[in-house]
Chains A and B, each alone.
Chain A
Amino acid sequence: MSLFLAVALIVYPALAPSSLRGLFVFVGIVGVGALVVAVVAAAPGLVGLGLLILFLEYGVSLITAEKLDWGAPVYGAALLLLGEVVYSLAARHRVESTAAEGLRTIVVVVLAVGSGFLVLGVAAIPLPHGGLVQALGAGGAAALVLGLASLARART
């Protein structure tokens, strides 16, 4: 399953009408390579790097896109699912999967699809004062990042 997901995540951004398709595929292969290294070297720290490279490949492919990509939530769910699978394979304690691990994977996928479509749905609503909405969005994003950072600091 992880192989299928990896191939899908490499190919999906390359489907965008762009002259940089070859570069997208190359970057995607680098990202998946990082994930393979994470599994082989049992280094879960590399999983984030691999996913980040794949995510950046997708982000760059969006630059030239004109319409909203409604496949983004599915792409995000696949990205997180691949991350979960690779992380389990790379973890030091290779013990049998429990029902709780299966439940976590399902919750992650549902959250990814649900929140992704919600964000896209909100983004698709035409609003006046576009500049103001963008400023609010930027403030909200910054507040979220700062909030998470302070919460993480308090809990670590």
Chain B
Amino acid sequence: MPGGGPGSRRAHSGEPPVVTRQVTARFGMYGLLAVVGLLGGLALGRPEMVAVGAPAVLILGIGLLSADLPPPRVSISSDRERAIEGELIDLEILLSADRPVPRLFVSVHLPHGLVAQHIDPGQRTEGDPSIDLAAPLTGTERLIRLPVSCDRWGTYRTVVVKLFATDFFGLYRYELVTSHVIGLKVFPVEKLLAQLLEPVETQLGLGELLSRRRGGGLEFAELRSFTPGDDRRLINWRASARRRGLWVNEHHPDRNSDVVLLIDSSRSSRGTDEEILDLVVGAAASLASGHLGRRDRVGLIMLGGRLVWMRPRMASAQRYQILDALTESRMFRSPEATFVARVPYRALPAQALIVGVSPLLDPAAVAAFGELRGRGFDMALIEIASEELTPPPGNEAGRLARRIWLLERDRIRRRFTGSGVAMARWNPQDPFDYALGEVASLRRSMMRSGR
């Protein structure tokens, strides 16, 4: 039996699927011709009518006596369990039956985000996302490979497959609907960021950030006079020759930081949820990858109806855990409960840099950001300019409502910047780097001015 690679898994639905049988329009057609031929022939006394109706009688008789199709079986697997947005995977559809089923059609209903490739227009029905494939089963088993493009990140758990079969004369239509677990995770594309944010305070772990403190490292900090116990290798002989006494070099230790990504997946009811979620998840994936590459410890908190948190950790395993969590993101309504009370202490270590990515549309999310800032966390906020995604209003009342909404957003923005949060608006038409660069520049100037 053909099988997938080591990562593949072939799954059947839990409940045994039931094959339904129904008569087709062709049955009605033959039935009508048979009855009219026989009865019309008698009524008119014309054997020609019976001659025209006779084949219909024969076809119906043969079709009814042989209407016994072996129930077909189907299983689906993907050639891998993980993919990256934009990649192609192969879905393997294995059809089997006890006897050949020459008229077998497969209709595959892929979830939104997975798109079948190399499909003729005739294999799609207008207004129906299913793909129809003729799959005559001439033996007892047939494997169909369907190339599928992973167009959107996400977790794809099930694929619905419908099997249609007809008997020789097409009088009956057999239908089997099954749902198959494929467990495919499509990770968002992690973009390489030109720069990352630096925290006010570093942690003790070894990393690529320069600590403000002095200690062992590579980056020169300053000169100081020699004190007993100093390593002789640190003596700067050139400086010592110019001054009286011995002088030693001091360095900035190379440290890492704790970065907590605060992702807002609160439902906004503005019809732009999916676009916003794509932006939020893409930005979070890029930030996580960038910071982990810098050997920072990265954690994740996802706001929304279901609070998801991951304590900051290093290593590539954390990257995959974050990506896993991101692929599960959905838009939720925010709860009323106080945010910080629900987040465990370990998820928000002291001196961690909190990077928020949010459209700031949900009052509960805005309150959560405010609450964190109020507790003195080092925080940066990237606001998705959701007004760029909403179509312009068509009437005067709409324009007035939009102006009020923009004013309200401006007020929120001022509140955060006034409390010392470096914040930038991210226009979805621009790369994420633009907004991140703006926040980094703001933070540098704020650190210089001691805010």
Q: Which residues of A come within 8 Å of B, CB atoms? A: 44-45, 47-48, 51-52, 55-56, 58-59, 62-63, 65, 68-69, 72-73, 75-77, 79-80, 83, 87, 92-96, 98, 100-101, 104, 107-108, 111-112, 115-120, 122-123, 134, 137-138, 141, 144-145, 147-148, 151-152, 155-156
Contact = CB atoms under 8 A, between A and B. Distances in A.
A72 B52 contact: yes
Contact of A48 (B29, B37, B41, B60): B29
Given A68-B47, A120-B48, A115 B54 contact: yes
- Mostly, the B contact residues are helix
Contacts of B226: none
Given A48-B29, A62-B46, A123-B47, A93 B23 contact: no
Contacts of B45: 134
Contacts, number: 167
Contact of A45 (B25, B36, B59, B103): B25
Interface in B22-37: 22-29, 31-37
B266 to A, nearest CB: 41
Contacts of B48: 58, 62, 68-69, 72, 75, 120
A95 B136 CA distance: 11
Contacts of A112: 54-55
A76 B51 contact: yes
Contact of A76 (B22, B23, B55, B123): B55
Q: Provide the main secondary structure of the chain A interface.
A: helix
Chain B contact residues (Cβ within 8 angstroms of A): what range?
Answer: 35 or more
Given A62-B44, A93-B105, A119-B50, A148 B55 contact: no
Contacts of B51: 72-73, 76, 115-117, 119-120, 123
Nearest to A79: B52
Among B29, B46, B60, B67, find the residue whose CB has the most chain A CB atoms closer than 10 A: B29
B39 interface: yes
Interface of B: 21-29, 31-42, 44-61, 64-65, 67, 102-103, 105, 107, 122-123, 125, 132-134, 136, 164, 168-170, 172
Q: Which of the listed residues B36, B51, B122, B168 has the most CB atoms from chain A within 10 Å of its own CB?
A: B51
Contacts of A95: 105, 122-123, 132-134
Contacts of A65: 46
A147 B31 CA distance: 12
Contact of B103 (A96, A100, A137, A151): A100
A77 B65 CA distance: 22
Contact of A141 (B31, B42, B169): B42
A98 B25 CA distance: 20
Contacts of B107: 93
A149 to B, nearest CB: 9
